[in-house]
Structure 1
Amino acid sequence: MLYIDENILLETDFAQELYRKHAQRVAVIDYHSHISPHDVAVNRTFDTITSIWMENNPYVWRAMRANGVEEKYCTGTEVDDWQRFEKWAQTMPYLMRSPLYLWSHLALKSVFGINEPLNAQSARRIFDACNEQLQGGELSARSLLRRFRIACVCTIDDPIDTLDHHRKLKREGCDMQMLPTWRPDKAMNIEKKEFRGYVKQLGEAANIEISTFESMMDALQRRHDFFAQNGCCMADHQLEEFYDEEYTDSQIEIIFEKAMRGQDLSRGEVRQYKHCFLKRTAEMNQESNWTQQYHYGILLDNNSLLYDTLGQGVGADSIGEPYTAHAMSHFLDDLHTRGKLTRTILTCMNPADNDMLCSMTGNFQEAGIPGKLQFGMGWWSNAQPGDINEQINALSRFGLLGRSIGVSTGSRSLLSLVRHEYFRRLLCNLLGNDVAKGLLPADIDSLGTLVEDVCYNNAHRFFGF
């Protein structure tokens, strides 16, 4: 049974024309991605569809756990690739109406030319057909990036990373860019048990003995400079919420010293420290003329057993309920008033914040930098067609859709890059429906320009890639 029609998500002739003539033909900048720099640098080939799809993919693991699948089939090493894939295929029918269901089948069709539903009955046939194509070596990591028309991908990297893989790709003169993104979350999360050990690693990477908060910031600055020397022009910060607690330099030093001695910190002390940390790193970002991203509204690592066994980012995160508008406003206003606010992307996991965020970005724009503050769209829980449509509508109500830099995938699997196609189809469909209702002029050239800008041109200009 055929499933994915070439006009899926495109309900009008005008939407189909917009997509074919404009959205489909422009390249992609994926400015927030968790794909492996190693895989791209060595141009990794994949033995099975399981390794390319299910390896390091919390979206898949989370769905399988919800279906009652044993953990060994999600992250264990004691099962083979077929056994793991079979459990994923058995889970798929229960995912109907999830964006993951549609993404998965779009990827199968786009990459492998397979256009039938994945389920228990089709699993072996699809597994073998995909693996046969993978054996030819034509679906390597870089080949897949080209297939998805990736012009630039920005990976998420810790300040202590060597960036060897990024430098290797640049030396080879590859026809696509892979740029690092500086993410210092481990130095911010002072309440975590790993904090002291991480500070030691940071000091070693920066060749600085860290004994105070200021010496830690010196080490971070040195690594910030190192990243800049290797093509980085963006920072990314993931946090539960923004913070507004007042602090003094001496208080922050005392809090840091307590943490390094292994003493418990109060909730207020943690929030003071994080507020200070975010201010200081924002100043670094502005001084280097970087863009900064804030991904917030997420409760991380809720399952203690999974966290203790597997670590962070394994599919146990959920939507938070941050009441953060005042704190965010004060944070941005302070930076703006002091001339320390750089280009900023604000992204929330909780769709309840859409209108607040879109209106917040309008408060701190700047002449000569169109869309200096951006509303980030399509992150994790905001991936349903209705959610993306609502985010586009919120931006249209409170900002300028035509200045949007579109979406990033946050993907860990190369197959997840198909989400750019998904977003582009939804954007064209929304505009096409507005034309059909008489809300927009049936001007294919003007709307085509808007689509190309949102899908590629704005990001290209915004980041300077």
Structure 2
Amino acid sequence: MSTFIHEDWLLQNKSAQILYHDYAKKMPIHDFHNHLTPAEIASNRQFNNMTEIWLGGDHYKWRAMRWLGIEERFITGDASDEDKFMMWAKCVPYTVGNPLYHWTHLELARYFGIHELLSEDTARGIWEKCNEKLQDPSMSTNGILKQFDVRVACTTDAPTDSLEHHQQIAKNPDIDTVVVPSFRPDRALDVVHATFKDYVQELSGSTKSGQTITTYTQFIEALGERVGYFHEQGGRVSDHGFETLPYVPANEQEVSFIFSRALNGETLSQEEIHKHQSFTMLHLAGFYHQYGWVMQLHIGAIRNNNERMFKLLGRDTGYDSILDYDLARSLNAFLNQLEQFNQLPKTIIYTLNPTQYEMIASAIGNFQAAGIRGKVQMGSGWWFHDQKDGMIRQLTALSSIGLMSTFVGMLTDSRSFLSFTRHEYFRRILCNLMGTWIEEGELPSDFTFIGGIIEDICYNNAKQYFDIRGLSV
């Protein structure tokens, strides 16, 4: 009997198979956005068991288990690692149709050489086989990076982070992957949060002078200094998370007053919040442009919706969802304001709401530039959409309205070292899409040319676009 994950899995025609096996499969990985822990890379962590590496922090799996009515103690609670794995194995057969079913079996096949379907009946043997394999040096954090030919990994880091672990990684000759930080200043924009004043004090302490920040000018100068520090440590990417992308014009005097009120803990209007965010983002984008960085905008997640569970478990535990929102006017206005003053950096725009795909594809066409292929990008299918239908929808919208040939491709956006197979998943879907176009006569059967575009999307475009220091091949 043939295995579920086989050589031509998801490749539904001969053209797709040629594109994948002759072109996509061999390409390295440029993982330009993830949530891997730098400390685990620096220490070359060896995981004790499958629950540690596979279930810890994976809110995709947690949501599925809750959907099946599993008690929280087997998800994020005090059950043993073994019991948590066994409960997940019991759930897996019922995830059919969900990308978790594909991801689970692809990860078992590629990392552990296991082609059995995971279920309650096979769980014991798979648990033992995987735990034994995890003790092999090839399954340490750095062993995995080498095994999957990950040339670049961009982690997600707070502006106040010392980046000491990145420094340790850079000095370690045994780590071939270029691991660099990404600048994620969401808390600097969250003037409505009760901890904003604490954050400003934390930012003060991270600067060279350590001078207390009391004015908006000092605040911006401190953020600019931290961008410069990240750049010295190899950082070439920023990342921002927004429910919506506000753009309300303001001037320095207005925003300085709003900043002072926020430091005093005063209640701000929605317009004042948006003015602070808009004006601060213009400053930050100017820094990114100055240093030649890529600015990433993740838009459209409404977070921590279950207040009871948020109080119990905290953030990033599986209670976020898709927000419906208006974006076209604010997005175009924000990019236009930067463009007017030649301050628009290379930018990637991700949306959690797929109804925005065509709009974003049309908007980014307004702000391309000479000398840079695809300067402003529509990001890959993200979060709830990094699955087959979501990827096809994103690729189709991009290719119909823009140029898919300039696309920088896939990323893991994951906390798990077992997620690098998402690149293979994406590549198979990409090759099947373009292979189908060849089979149906919508593209010529010029495999050398189309295969070159496949290679570009899988790796080459990202390598050129991000221009990460230390990446030579």
TM-score by length of 2: 0.95
Q: Look up the match of 1:314.
A: 317
How far did residue 305 of structure 1 move? 2.8
Q: Look up the match of 1:61.
A: 62
Q: Look up the match of 1:382.
A: 385
More displaced stretch, 34-43 vs 135-144 = 135-144
Contact 1:350 1:381 in 2 (8 A): no
> Deviation digits for residues 63-98 of structure 1, max 9, x if unmatched?
22222222222222x221101111211221221111
How far did residue 306 of structure 1 move? 3.2
How far did residue 232 of structure 1 move? 0.5
- CA-atom RMSD, angstroms? 1.3
Query: Percent identical across equivalent pairs?
Result: 37
Counterpart code for 1:71: E
Alignment of 1:442-453 (within 5 A): 442-453=445-456
Q: Look up the match of 2:292.
A: 289
How far did residue 415 of structure 1 move? 0.8
SS in 2 for 1:121: coil
The CA distance in 1 between the partners of 2:242 and 2:83, in whole Å, is 36
Counterpart code for 2:389: G
SS in 1 for 2:350: strand
Q: Are 2:27 and 1:38 aligned?
A: no
SS in 2 for 1:16: helix
Alignment of 1:328-339 (within 5 A): 328-339=331-342
The CA distance in 1 between the partners of 2:206 and 2:75, in whole Å, is 33
Q: Of 234, 247, 251, which residue of structure 2 is paired with 1:248?
A: 251
The CA distance in 1 between the partners of 2:190 and 2:94, in whole Å, is 36
Q: Look up the match of 1:107.
A: 107
Structure 2: gaps (5+ residues): 469-473
SS in 2 for 1:32: coil
The CA distance in 2 between the partners of 1:45 and 1:372, in whole Å, is 39
The CA distance in 2 between the partners of 1:354 and 1:425, in whole Å, is 21
SS in 1 for 2:240: strand
Structure 1: gaps (5+ residues): none
Alignment of 1:199-238 (within 5 A): 199-206=200-207, 207-238=210-241
SS in 1 for 2:85: helix
TM-score by length of 1: 0.97
Counterpart code for 1:456: Y
Contact 2:138 2:147 in 1 (8 A): no
Q: Of 366, 375, 387, which residue of structure 2 is paired with 1:372?
A: 375
Q: Look up the match of 1:134.
A: 134
Q: Of 296, 300, 303, which residue of structure 2 is paired with 1:300?
A: 303
SS in 2 for 1:255: helix
How far did residue 388 of structure 1 move? 0.9
Contact 1:208 1:219 in 2 (8 A): no
Contact 1:47 1:131 in 2 (8 A): yes
How far did residue 361 of structure 1 move? 1.1
Q: Of 234, 258, 262, which residue of structure 1 is paired with 2:265?
A: 262
More displaced stretch, 241-250 vs 424-433 = 241-250
Q: Are 2:164 and 1:164 aligned?
A: yes
How far did residue 193 of structure 1 move? 2.5
> Deviation digits for residues 183-236 of structure 1, max 9, x if unmatched?
100111111222222221111111231112222212111111111110001111
Q: Are 2:123 and 1:123 aligned?
A: yes
How far did residue 245 of structure 1 move? 1.9
The CA distance in 1 between the partners of 2:261 and 2:267, in whole Å, is 7
The CA distance in 2 between the partners of 1:425 and 1:46, in whole Å, is 29
The CA distance in 2 between the partners of 1:247 and 1:70, in whole Å, is 49
SS in 1 for 2:297: strand
Q: Look up the match of 1:11.
A: 12
Counterpart code for 2:115: N
The CA distance in 1 between the partners of 2:125 and 2:284, in whole Å, is 51
The CA distance in 2 between the partners of 1:211 and 1:303, in whole Å, is 35
Q: Are 2:86 and 1:83 aligned?
A: no
SS in 1 for 2:304: coil
How far did residue 446 of structure 1 move? 0.8
Q: Look up the match of 2:25.
A: 24
The CA distance in 2 between the partners of 1:178 and 1:185, in whole Å, is 22
Give the aligned length: 464
The CA distance in 2 between the partners of 1:371 and 1:247, in whole Å, is 30
How far did residue 124 of structure 1 move? 1.4
